[in-house]
Structures are given as C-alpha cells and as structure tokens.
Amino acid sequence: MHELGIAVAIVVATLRAATPLMLAGFGELITERSGVLNLGVEGMMLVGAAFGFIGAVVSGSLLVGFIIAMIAGAALALVFGVLTLSLMANQVATGLALTIFGVGFSALVGVKWVGMPLAGLPGAIWPHLSTAPPLVQQMMLIDPIVVIAILVPFAAHWFIYRTRGGLILRAVGESHDVAHALGYSVLRIRYLAVLCGGAMSGLAGAYMSLSYSPMWAENMVAGRGWIALALVVFSTWKPAWLALGALLFGLVTIAQFQAEGLGVAVSPNLLAMLPYLATVIVLVLISRDATRLKLNAPAALGRPFHATA
C-alpha cells in the first residue's frame, strides 16, 4: 500500500512537472508545423503566468485566470504574427525580442502581486481535498489542466495526421508557395497557428502560477519556455517524441527533488540543472540523424511568405 502510494506520488508529480512543457511544447509544435518559428515561448509563458495569476485573484475564479492567461499569450503571439507575417520581420529576432519583452512586461505588471497567496481561492482546484484518503488526495493533484496536458499529445497527433486541417497545416509548413498556388490562405493559416501557440503558452504559464507553485514571482517560468522550444526541434516535430521529452523532463525534475530531499552531497544548483541537461542530452541523441531531422522538419520553417503573384 505504501509502495503503491509512492509510485502514484511519483507518477502524479512527473505529470505535474511535465504539464507546462507539454502545453507550451505542443503550442509551439503547431506553430512550427505551419512554418513559423516563434522563439517567444518563454515570454508568452511569463505573461500568461502573470496575467493568469492576477486574473484569478481579482476575479476570484481560477477558470477566469486561465482564460485571461490564454488571451494574454495569444495577444502577445498576435503582436509576433503582425510583425513577422504581415510586416515580414525576421522571425528569430522578433521571437527573441518577444521573450525579452515578456520577461520585463510580466515583472512590471506583477510587481504588486509578488509573494501574494491565492487568497480567497480553494487551496487546489478540487474542493474537499483534505477529507479524502491520502491515495485519493495524491490522485486529486491531477487537476484539469494536467488532464488537458495528458490529452494534448493524442489530440495533436490526431489533428496533424488524421484531419484535413492538419494536412493543410503541414502543407503550409512544407511549402508556402505551393500551398498558395493551390489556393490556400497561407497567412490566415499561419496566424491561426501562431495564435494557438500563444494561447497554449499562456495556459502553460498560468498553470505554473496557479497550480504548480501557486504564486507569482518574477521570471518564475525559469527557462521552461526554452526547453519547450528545444523539445520541439529535438523531437523532430513528432508529437510522440515531444510528449516523451516532456515526460522525461518531468521525471528528472522529480528525481532532482528526491535527491535534494535525501541530502545528496551535490550543489542544489547542479541538481536544478539536471532536468534541463538530461532532456537535452537524450533528445540530442534521438535526433542526431541529420537526414531524419531534415526529412521531418517543416521545410518552410522560418521563411517569410510574400505572395508575389
């Protein structure tokens, strides 16, 4: 019974740690599959975290918080879209600027809310938590956002490979000129993909500030946006590999906490580095086949589209 409890605790904790990466990663996967490289994930997550937290506290509703976070992420993505898609600014530079902006903007907006608890809201998303048996309490930590994060890979796989919309998305990312010649609106599809990526990043950020560690602190996303970006590339744009990468990150994060708890004589800073390092190393090993990387990469990734005719 006790061992089962530990196993469940590890699985639950892993899922929770993997959730932000799963959400932001799949948002970015959709964006990149349309041929747009948005390096602003970290910034969009932070803005989502700040606005989600403020929204939840002000409105007294977590749901409102999450919705505001998604709108905030999408709004930032819209700025990126206008700059790179309509005005054809360089995607890499604009994405970096977006992250820098998001870091500063979220800190500015959230400065009054630093350290404030989620006052007046239930301690977690499920009510009556404290009266349930311990094992159920553990399971209850799987809040609806985690459930969404678990479903996202399946939904994304189904959408990308089984639906007509996914086919068009892949087509636009493969060759915007051909898609345009066939009569598809490249810019509209890319805008939708970029907005989807922004909303997912915002949601991921809000999960950080409303559930994972329910509070707002400056720069609290702590590089997860960058890891999500790296996961997308190293997963060679495949939903299954991306999901595995996110889970791996979650697992090593938990291992790191355990190691700290057991008092391993290693600097906590080194341990904190571990999830990032392990994820990157494993995925680099997976994706070292350059041919496969090229074969799966959206061929039009990062290239601006201008309808010449």
Task: Give the binding site for another protein (CB under 8 A).
Answer: 164, 167-168, 170-171, 174-175, 178-179, 181-184, 291-292, 294-296, 299, 309
Q: Minimum distance from CB of 171 to another protein (Å)? A: 5
Distance CA(1)–CA(69), nearest Å, equals 39
Which among 213, 302, 251, 218 is positioned nearest to 22, based on CA atoms?
A: 251
Residue 129 tokens, joined: 């938590």
**CA–CA distances in Å: residue 254 to residues 16, 27, 96, 296:** 10, 24, 30, 31
Calculate Rg over the CA atoms of the chain: 20
Task: Please identify, using beta-carbon distances, which residue of 16 and 180 lies nearer to another protein.
Answer: 180
Longest dimension (CA), the chain: 69
Q: Minimum distance from CB of 84 to another protein (Å)? A: 22
In this structure, the number of other CB atoms found within 10 A of the CB of residue 205 comes to 36
Task: Please identify, using beta-carbon distances, which residue of 267 and 291 lies nearer to another protein.
Answer: 291
Q: What sign for the dihedral angle of Cα 231, 28, 187, 305?
A: negative
Task: Please identify, using beta-carbon distances, which residue of 127 and 165 lies nearer to another protein.
Answer: 165
Distance CA(46)–CA(217), nearest Å, equals 10
Q: Minimum distance from CB of 307 to another protein (Å)? A: 9
Q: Minimum distance from CB of 294 to another protein (Å)? A: 5
Task: Please identify, using beta-carbon distances, which residue of 7 and 294 lies nearer to another protein.
Answer: 294
Task: Please identify, using beta-carbon distances, which residue of 108 and 299 lies nearer to another protein.
Answer: 299
Q: Residue 175's Cα: distance from chain center in Å?
A: 26
Residue 201 tokens, joined: 């990043």
Task: Please identify, using beta-carbon distances, which residue of 184 and 257 lies nearer to another protein.
Answer: 184
